[in-house]
Amino acid sequence: MGNCLAETDEDRARLSLEAKRNKQLDKELQLEEKAGRLVHKLLLLGAGESGKSTFFKQLVRIHDKGYDVNSRRAFERSIYKNIINSVYFLFKAVDTYGYTLDSKTVGLRDFFEETAPVDEEANWLIDDKMGDAIKAIWTDPAVQTAFKNRDDKATMFYLFDGAEYFFNKIDEVKADKYIPDEEDIVRCRIRTSGIIEKSFEIKGNHFRIFDVGGQRAERRKWIHCFQNVTAVMFIASLSCYNQSLFEDASSNRMTEAILLFEDISNSHWFAETAIILFLNKHDIFQQKIKSIPITECPSLAHFEGEGYEKSLAFIQMVFETSCQSPSQCVYTHVTTATNKQNVESIFESVQDIVIRKSMAEAGLLVNA
């Protein structure tokens, strides 16, 4: 984890504050343990856009109190921003790859680009008129063609995974009394910056879960979370094998995830920590693999099979064998973080792994 050093005075000041915060959190954990309250510290790690924060939001939804009205309202601006930026990305793809918009859509595009915000601090809002324009733009044949071809090598472009979901419910989003529901919150894309923490009590067991940003610039903050970790939950997107990083178009996303998992799973920080691997976005992968082979990823170019089952097994093998620590065991689960039931079921298994690990460390089990 050699990229954890600050580069500027501002970086150093921010990291110093985060280090102090982590020390305080560790003190709180120690106090709870002294009081006879065993706390399981779980760290959510993964590259950007892996679905890590989606998994975290599902846990809040399932095991915390969920999201009240005020909490849900706080996501409105981000949802508007997700949708508006997705329209901009679609228009850019239409221009780049030479698709032709209908004449009516050309007029709607003019209205959209004159009205929709572009500045980060602007008032991001989708009212009735803007919503109607977006709804019509989304149905344009050229836009639909660009969307369907977004993963093809010759016509690829970035579009966040929740775009289609929100376009299809634009009538609800544009309503005056729109308040995001919990499904909207799970689908909403917000880049994690810094460290987000939640505590849960499940069946008498106390869990403290930390979600940290996955982009490269965020990873220098991770090291402040590494102490006293019961388990690392590493989220990797199955569907990213033919995509590049948002922050570096020259780097393949899955290659980045494999290298990052190798770094984490072999780190001395986690020699005694349970490593739980989530191969996420299974639903998207299952569809994509029908037309795009995993050999599009440089790290998977030596794969000689075909089809869903063999491709999935090969990806799992590549991740698991990158962990070379003889004392380490990788527990792997195939997940769809947007599916509440799937996350709830799999987290039951995670609890079992974590509790058994803690009992083994306490000398109550022979093997974890």
325 labeled part of a ligand binding site: no
HSE-up of 320 (CA within 13 Å, CB side)? 14
Q: What is the CATH number of the domain that holds 209?
A: 3.40.50.300
214 labeled part of a ligand binding site: yes
- Do residues 288 and 316 share a domain? yes
53 labeled part of a ligand binding site: yes
- Do residues 147 and 278 share a domain? no
332 labeled part of a ligand binding site: no
**How far apart, in Å, do the first and last CA atoms of the chain sit?**
27
In a domain, 1, yes or no: no
Q: Is 176 a residue of the active site?
A: no
Q: Which of 61-65, 215-219, 279-283, 298-302 has the lowest mean pLDDT?
A: 215-219
In a domain, 345, yes or no: yes
* Segment 9-26 mean pLDDT: 58
User: So what's the pLDDT on residue 35?
Assistant: 43
Per-residue pLDDT tens over the stretch 20-75: 655 665 565 555 554 434 788 898 998 888 999 899 999 999 998 889 999 999 99
In a domain, 2, yes or no: no
49 labeled part of a ligand binding site: yes
User: So what's the pLDDT on residue 204?
Assistant: 83
Greater confidence (37 vs 342) lies with 342
> What string of DSSP letters covers 124-179?
----HHHHHHHHHHHH-HHHHHHHHTTTSGGG-----TTHHHHHTTHHHHTSTT--
52 labeled part of a ligand binding site: yes
In a domain, 367, yes or no: no
pLDDT for residue 172 is more than 60: yes
User: So what's the pLDDT on residue 294?
Assistant: 97
Q: Nearest 5°: CA angle at 263, between 292 and 224?
A: 120
Residue where one domain finishes, among candidates 179, 205, 238:
179
184 labeled part of a ligand binding site: no
Q: Is 68 a residue of the active site?
A: no
- From the candidates 215, 295, 316, 332, which is the catalytic residue? 215
- From the candidates 76, 151, 211, 256, which is the catalytic residue? 211
- Do residues 296 and 226 share a domain? yes
User: So what's the pLDDT on residue 5?
Assistant: 35
Q: Percent of the chain at pLDDT above 70?
A: 82
User: So what's the pLDDT on residue 258?
Assistant: 97
Residue where one domain finishes, among candidates 179, 213, 241:
179
218 labeled part of a ligand binding site: no
Query: Cα separations (Å) of 326 from 1, 8, 228, 272, 322?
Result: 20, 38, 21, 11, 12
Per-residue pLDDT tens over the stretch 130-141: 999 999 999 999
51 labeled part of a ligand binding site: yes
User: So what's the pLDDT on residue 322?
Assistant: 96
pLDDT for residue 108 is more than 50: yes
User: So what's the pLDDT on residue 366?
Assistant: 47
pLDDT for residue 223 is more than 90: no
Q: Is 211 a residue of the active site?
A: yes
In a domain, 198, yes or no: yes
pLDDT for residue 338 is more than 60: yes
Contact 337/280 with Cβ under 8 angstroms?
A: yes
Q: Is 286 a residue of the active site?
A: no
The confidence band for 92, taking pLDDT boundaries of 50, 70 and 90, is very high
Q: Which of 158-162, 187-191, 219-223 has the lowest mean pLDDT?
A: 219-223
Dihedral angle over CA of 70, 76, 77, 81, nearest 10: 160
Match 């402040």 to its residue by tokens: 224
In a domain, 186, yes or no: no
98 labeled part of a ligand binding site: no
Mean pLDDT of the chain: 86
Beta bridge partners of 232: 43, 275
In a domain, 333, yes or no: yes
Name 167's Cβ contacts closer than 8 Å, sequence gap at least 6. Answer: 83, 86, 134, 135, 138
Task: Determine phi and psi for 45, rounding to 5 degrees.
Answer: -125, 160
192 labeled part of a ligand binding site: yes
Q: Is 187 a residue of the active site?
A: no
User: So what's the pLDDT on residue 270?
Assistant: 86
In a domain, 231, yes or no: yes
Give the domain range for residue 208.
9-67+193-358
Contact 297/255 with Cβ under 8 angstroms?
A: yes
Give the separation between CA 246 and CA 53, rounded to whole angstroms. Answer: 16
pLDDT for residue 271 is more than 60: yes
Number of domains in the chain: 2
Residue where one domain finishes, among candidates 157, 179, 201:
179
Q: Which of 91-100, 325-334, 359-368 has the lowest mean pLDDT?
A: 359-368
* Segment 296-305 mean pLDDT: 96
282 labeled part of a ligand binding site: yes
